């Protein structure tokens, strides 16, 4: 009702507001022609400004801002063609129709009138009926231009507002952006490419570069649910394949048919010894050797983009590879490879590979690629969003896990008396058996349960690390029977994860049981974690000593880290049962 009243009031105002006088500029060196045309235009409501040549017309066009121009072709000082060409170079808010006046009717002359910027033409002598029809036609086009201009201005305003929301909701939450080297060049106000980064509770860095179908606002609108899912699941400690599955489910229910989301996902382990990569419908992810500057490994696309198949899984698409400090990982959208030169040639993968050869650092990489693109494309129009990210495998890109003081030195342990004086205890058990071990990661679920404890937020990262290390040890070395020393080289590392995937895919029996007991006190709390697996166990005596023997230098680091974080770590039976106690005092 309010909207109807508002529109009715606006209509009444339009009826009573005075209609501004229309102004026409007549440009002709013959006085008789100007008089005849002026007389007719006055009859249909125009006031008239006159000029004898193109130079005068240019001055009047700028100062008087007419609503329509009638331009003779042949004139002294400056002819009509040159005058119109210069008029069209002048920035104007409104559309001003220009009608050429000519006595010639050959096609080449009339065609040239349109080419230089004219909108129509009149042949001399003037036919009043034709003249009126052309004026009315130009007025109708002017009104359409004005309406389009209003709509365009509103669209730009809406885009600016939406871009502000987009930046705050999608981009502002990223981490480590001062350490990543990026080139983000949208083809429109909004980019259909999305670059996201977040830390896992363990300290791993997750990076996602995605490309929605098309570009502009329609493509970018999917970035909001993607960023929310990516950050929420990363912060809860879900694995890369689980995060991708979560994003895929969200997009499958939201995106229209024919729209999808290609993705490059990289997780840089906090130990800086390996990366986990998934490429779904994007160009190759490149791992660059920090010593030679050569391409160390290509992670090619091995899965469909997200949003196409609602129940897609990503376990088999995940690839792990060892890295060394100083290596770099390059992510690119297809806008980089499909960037065009002025002669319509694509930039392509070979030019990208050539640009990065023998690079010396992440900064050098981004400068080489950016320079090569700039030289190749010159002033050619940009068809698609261009996005590029270089991830340096350096400690600075990770969170400050390594700089945190040891747990023992930053807290006074909660005493057993304090624990016994509280009745706010919680205990639960999770058991995974057989094929369920292939499909479920219990750690995020356990962390969610523990969130109910007061003061746990500041300890979440430590608990996540302890739980993950104990669970992975139980799964890999207990149930699957993998040996840690397989990871002593880059080839062995890749082979370790390949064998892990094979054994996990064939797993039909075995189990892991996790028992969690919590105790909350007035100034802190404690968590007791017990993990049991169905494996044969191992000789844990060396791993619990203060010095690891040389034969274990590439393994056992997880146990050492858990011991550093916990009050106590005790293995039982054959080594397939472990009990860890972690406690803290609130600040």
Q: Where in the chain is the domain with CATH 3.30.565.10?
A: 404-585
Q: Whole-angstrom distance between the N-terminal and C-terminal Cα of the chain? A: 57
The order of strands in the sheet holding 577-585 is: 425-433, 511-521, 524-533, 577-585, 568-572
Determine the Cα–Cα distance for residues 408 and 581; give it in Å rounded to an integer.
12
Q: HSE-up of 261 (CA within 13 Å, CB side)?
A: 37
Q: Which tokens is 359 given?
A: 């690079």
Positions of CATH 3.60.40.10 in the chain: 173-400
Beta bridge partners of 427: 517
DSSP reduced 3-state for 235: helix
pLDDT tier at 422, thresholds 50, 70, 90: very low
Mean local confidence (pLDDT), 566-573: 89
Which pLDDT value is given to residue 371? 93
Q: What is the tens place of the pLDDT at every residue in 150-171?
A: 888 887 787 777 777 777 778 8
Q: Is the pLDDT of residue 12 over 80?
A: no
Beta bridge partner(s), residue 198: 206
Q: What is the mean pLDDT of residues 505-511?
A: 88
User: What is the structure's pLDDT at 451?
Assistant: 76
Query: Would you tell me the crossing angle of helices 54-64 and 80-89 to the nearest 10 degrees?
Result: 30
Pairing of strands 22-27, 68-72: parallel
Answer yes or no: CATH 3.30.70.920 is held by domain 2-148: no
User: How many C-beta atoms surround the C-beta of residue 185 within 10 A?
Assistant: 19
Report the pLDDT averaged over residues 462-472: 90
In 313-397, beta strands by DSSP E: 319-322, 328-332, 386-392
Q: How many angstroms separate the CA atoms of 582 and 565, rounded?
A: 7
Is 398 within 8 Å of 207 (Cβ atoms)? no
pLDDT of residue 360: 78
What mean pLDDT, rounded, does the chain reach?
A: 84
Q: Cβ neighbours of residue 508 under 8 Å, at least 6 residues apart?
A: 434, 435
Residues 40-94 have pLDDT tens digits of: 999 989 999 999 999 999 999 999 999 999 999 889 999 989 999 999 988 777 8
Q: Is the dihedral of CA 311, 315, 321, 322 positive or negative?
A: positive
Instruction: Please identify which residue in the block is written with the tokens 């109910």.
Output: 452
Phi, psi (degrees; rounded to nearest 5) at 185? -130, 90
Domain 173-400 CATH superfamily: PPM-type phosphatase domain (3.60.40.10)
Whose CA is closest to 450, among 383, 517, 536, 360? 517
Q: What is the CA radius of gyration of the chain?
A: 35
All CATH 3.40.50.2300 domain ranges in the chain, comma separated = 2-148
For 415-431, what is the mean pLDDT? 63
Taking only the tens place, the pLDDT of each residue in 394-417 is 999 987 654 444 444 334 444 443
Question: pLDDT (tens digit, 9 = 90+) per residue, 102-140?
Answer: 887 777 777 888 888 899 888 888 888 888 999 999 999
Q: Give the separation between CA 580 and CA 301, rounded to whole angstroms.
A: 41
Q: Tokens at residue 564, please?
A: 């550093």
E strand residue ranges, 28-175: 46-51, 68-72, 98-102, 120-123
Q: Which two tokens stand for residue 344?
A: 């319509």
For residue 57, say if its preceding peptide bond is cis, omega within 30 degrees of 0: no
Is domain 404-585 annotated with CATH 3.30.565.10? yes
| Beta carbons within 10 angstroms of residue 399's beta carbon | 18
Identify whether the C-beta of residue 102 lies closer than 8 Å to the C-beta of residue 33.
no
More confident residue, 338 or 221: 338
Query: What are the start-end ranges of the E strands in 52-180?
Result: 68-72, 98-102, 120-123
**Crossing angle of helices 31-43 and 128-166, rounded to 10°:** 70
Can you say whether residue 457 is alpha, beta or left, with left for phi > 0 and alpha for psi between -120 and 50 degrees? alpha
Going by C-beta distance under 8 Å and a sequence separation of 6 or more, which residues neighbour residue 65? 23, 92
């Amino acid at each position: 009702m309010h909207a109807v009243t508002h529109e009715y009031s606006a209509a009444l105002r339009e009826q009573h507001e005075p209609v501004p006088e229309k102004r026409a500029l007549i440009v002709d060196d013959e006085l008789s022609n100007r008089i005849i045309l002026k007389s007719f235009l006055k009859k249909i409501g125009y006031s008239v400004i006159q000029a004898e040549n193109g130079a005068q017309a240019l001055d009047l066009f700028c100062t008087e801002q007419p609503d329509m121009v009638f331009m003779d072709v042949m004139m002294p000082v400056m002819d009509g063609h040159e005058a119109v060409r210069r008029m069209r170079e002048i920035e104007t808010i409104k559309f001003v129709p220009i009608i050429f006046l000519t006595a010639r009717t050959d096609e080449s002359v009339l065609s040239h009138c349109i080419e230089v910027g004219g909108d129509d033409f009149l042949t001399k002598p003037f036919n009043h009926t034709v003249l009126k029809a052309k004026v009315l036609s130009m007025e109708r086009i002017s009104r359409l231009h004005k309406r389009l201009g209003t709509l365009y201005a509103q669209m730009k305003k809406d885009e600016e507002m939406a871009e502000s929301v987009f930046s705050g909701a999608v981009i502002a939450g990223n981490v480590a952006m001062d350490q990543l080297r990026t080139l983000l060049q949208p083809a429109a106000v909004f980019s259909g490419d999305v670059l996201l980064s977040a830390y896992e509770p363990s300290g791993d860095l997750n990076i996602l570069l995605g490309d929605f179908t098309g570009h502009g606002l329609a493509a970018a609108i999917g970035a909001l649910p993607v960023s929310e899912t990516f950050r929420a699941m990363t912060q809860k400690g879900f694995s890369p394949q689980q995060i991708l599955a979560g994003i895929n489910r969200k997009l499958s229910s939201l995106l229209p048919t024919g729209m999808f989301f290609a993705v490059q996902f990289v997780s840089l382990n906090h130990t800086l010894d390996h990366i986990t990569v998934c490429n779904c419908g994007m160009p190759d992810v490149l791992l660059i050797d920090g010593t030679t500057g050569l391409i160390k490994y290509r992670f090619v696309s091995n899965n469909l983009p997200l949003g196409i198949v609602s129940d897609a899984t990503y376990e088999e698409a995940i690839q792990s590879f060892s890295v060394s400090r100083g290596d770099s990982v390059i992510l690119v959208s297809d806008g980089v490879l499909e960037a065009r030169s002025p002669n319509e040639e694509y930039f392509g993968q070979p030019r990208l590979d050539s640009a990065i050869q023998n690079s010396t650092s992440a900064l050098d990489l981004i400068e080489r690629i950016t320079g090569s693109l700039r030289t190749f494309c010159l002033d050619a129009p940009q068809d698609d969003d261009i996005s590029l990210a270089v991830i340096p495998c350096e400690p600075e890109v990770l969170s400050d896990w390594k700089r945190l003081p040891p747990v023992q030195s930053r807290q006074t342990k909660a005493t057993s008396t304090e624990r016994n004086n509280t009745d706010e205890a919680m205990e639960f058990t999770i058991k995974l058996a057989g094929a369920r071990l292939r499909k479920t990661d219990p750690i995020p679920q356990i962390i969610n349960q523990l969130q109910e404890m007061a003061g746990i937020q500041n300890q979440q990262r430590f608990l996540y690390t302890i739980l993950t290390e104990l669970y992975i040890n139980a799964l890999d070395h207990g149930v699957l029977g993998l040996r840690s020393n397989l990871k002593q080289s880059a080839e062995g590392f890749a082979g370790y994860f390949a064998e892990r995937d094979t054994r996990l895919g064939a797993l039909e029996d075995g189990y892991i049981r996790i028992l969690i007991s919590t105790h909350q006190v007035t100034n802190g709390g404690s968590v007791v974690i017990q993990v049991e697996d169905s494996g044969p166990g191992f000789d844990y005596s060396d791993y619990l000593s203060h010095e690891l023997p040389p034969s274990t230098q590439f393994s056992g680091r997880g146990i050492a880290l858990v011991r550093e974080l916990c009050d106590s770590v005790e293995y039982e039976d054959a080594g397939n049962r472990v009990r860890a106690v972690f406690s803290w005092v609130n600040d």
